[in-house]
Amino acid sequence: MELKPNDLAAEWKAGKFRPVYYLFGEESASKADAVLRLKALFKPDDFNLREFSGDPNSEYSAIISEALTLPVFADKRLVIVRSHKIPAEARAAFADYLRSPSPTTTLVLLSEDRRPDKKDALAAAAAEAGAICVFSPLTEDEAVERLLAEAKTAGKNLDPAAAAALTEQAGTDWGILSGELEKALLFAGKATDIGMDAVSASMGFRKATDPWAFERLVSSRDLKACMTYLRDAFADAKPDEVVFRSLAQARAAYLKQLKAKRMLKAGLAPRDIEMKLRIFYDRDFFDRAKRVTEERLRRDLRRLLEVETDLKSKAWLDAKIEFEGVVVELCTPTPRL
């Protein structure tokens, strides 16, 4: 069967461990957290835990042998296989093992594929014998909720506006967000409440004092102001960090405008829209949204996605140059703008 990450965590917390879990998805930090959580709940000693991170084609015999080994002075064994991609030969061997898996072993397979292939026999076998789980990128709302929950676990009350600011600035990648949250927790010290001041002070770049600055600039299509902002941002941080954070902010800006326009058409009041879309401290939001068509917003969202996909898949591209180029496109008027 297929489980969602929250269902997976609840199952483990309840003490239920299946013979196999096959974990997919681009959210690598969340997958890593899930494995750490499983190990903490499992509490295996050195005799009952094996982890493999080499070539599965050369290790699958040893992996299956470990999975078939009975636990030593314990009820369960945990075997973890980390691999960018499991080759066909190893997948076939694992699928064969899963036809009759050891009931005393939990085998965890990690994949960086976005989703299981419908034709993948190993994914089908894992779903039949245990469960598969896809760790997809967090939405903005999910990222904010997770920040609030993690802060509460740490004994702190994070202001929702501050959580939204972190998401606006850093994007929704949990690996980055968790690091920013950790800095905010350290900055807060013994204080119970974490507000905008603590978040702004803990962020590692100059523009953190105005978390929505770039979102407002790119949504107002002000090329000169956008380039000035980026020049300062590139001076304070690594280009890749600035680019992917700014891509997330640009997407957020246009997606909010698109949603707001549709909500206005549906008869919602501006105040209700502000609450639903988490629009903070932006008096000109609706005026800017009126000046752009839904068609243009959809086009620009597609263009941002194309650029992000290219930067992640084509290592030879210069992220700074590519992003500055798309900002020029975004800020260039069209007859429909």
One digit per residue, the tens of pLDDT, for the chain of length 337 reads 888 888 888 899 888 999 999 998 877 777 888 888 888 888 888 888 998 887 888 888 999 999 999 988 888 999 999 877 788 888 899 999 999 999 999 999 988 787 888 888 999 999 999 999 988 877 888 888 889 988 998 898 998 888 887 887 777 777 778 778 887 888 777 888 888 877 776 665 444 445 567 888 899 998 998 998 898 888 877 888 889 888 988 998 899 999 999 999 999 888 788 777 877 656 788 888 988 999 999 999 999 999 988 888 888 889 899 999 999 999 988 644 4
Asked whether residue 221 falls in the same domain as residue 316, the answer is yes
Residue 336 in any domain: the answer is: no
Q: What pLDDT score was predicted for residue 182?
A: 81
Among 104, 134, 164, residue at a domain's last position = 134
Does 192 map to a domain? yes
Residue 265: inside a domain, yes or no?
yes
Spatial separation of the C-alpha atoms in residues 267 and 315, rounded to whole Å: 46
pTM for the predicted model, two decimal places: 0.54
Q: Is-contact 332 299, C-beta < 8 A?
A: no
204 lies in a domain?
yes
The verdict on residue 52 lying in a domain is yes
Q: Answer whether residue 222 is part of any domain.
A: yes
Q: Do residues 180 and 126 share a domain?
A: no
- Domain with residue 276: its CATH number is 1.20.272.10
Q: Which residue has the tokens 């501006």?
A: 270
Structure tokens that stand for 247 in this block: 């891509």
Phi-psi domain of 299 (left: phi exceeds 0; alpha: psi -120 through 50; beta: other)? alpha
Q: For residue 210, give the amino acid letter.
A: D
The pLDDT of residue 211: 58
pLDDT for 207 equals 40
For residue 319, being part of any structural domain is answered with: yes
Residue 84 belongs to a domain: yes
| Domain identity same for 78 and 99 | yes
Phi and psi of 225, rounded to 5°?
-65, -40
User: What is the pLDDT at residue 328?
Assistant: 93
Alpha carbons within 13 angstroms on the beta-carbon side of residue 305 total 8
Same domain, 171 and 95: no
Q: What is the pLDDT of residue 272?
A: 81
Task: Print the domain residue range for 114.
Answer: 2-134
| Residue written as token pair 């680019």 | 243
Length of the chain: 337
CA 156/CA 191 separation, integer angstroms: 8
- Say what the pLDDT of residue 167 is: 82
Instruction: Examine the domain organization and report whether 63 and 161 are in the same domain.
Output: no
Give yes or no: residues 161 and 128 share one domain: no
Q: Which residue has the tokens 């020049």?
A: 231
Q: Are residues 275 and 181 in the same domain?
A: yes
Q: Say if residue 285 is in the same domain as residue 261.
A: yes
Residues 212 and 63 in one domain: no
Write down which residue in 100, 134, 168 finishes a domain: 134
Dist. CA 152–CA 146, nearest whole Å: 10
Copy the structure tokens of residue 62: 């040893």
Number of domains the chain is built from: 2
Q: Are residues 212 and 253 in the same domain?
A: yes
Q: What is the pLDDT of residue 82?
A: 84
Q: Across the chain, where does the E strand assignment appear?
A: 2-3, 20-24, 49-52, 77-82, 105-110, 131-134, 157-158, 193-194
Amino acid 209: pLDDT: 44
Determine contact, residues 19/130, Cβ cutoff 8 Å: yes
Same domain, 225 and 322: yes
Q: Strands across the sheet with 77-82, in order?
A: 2-3, 131-134, 20-24, 105-110, 77-82, 49-52
CATH code assigned at 75: 3.40.50.300
Q: Are residue 156 and residue 231 in the same domain, yes or no?
A: yes
Q: Which of 73, 105, 134 is the last residue of a domain?
A: 134
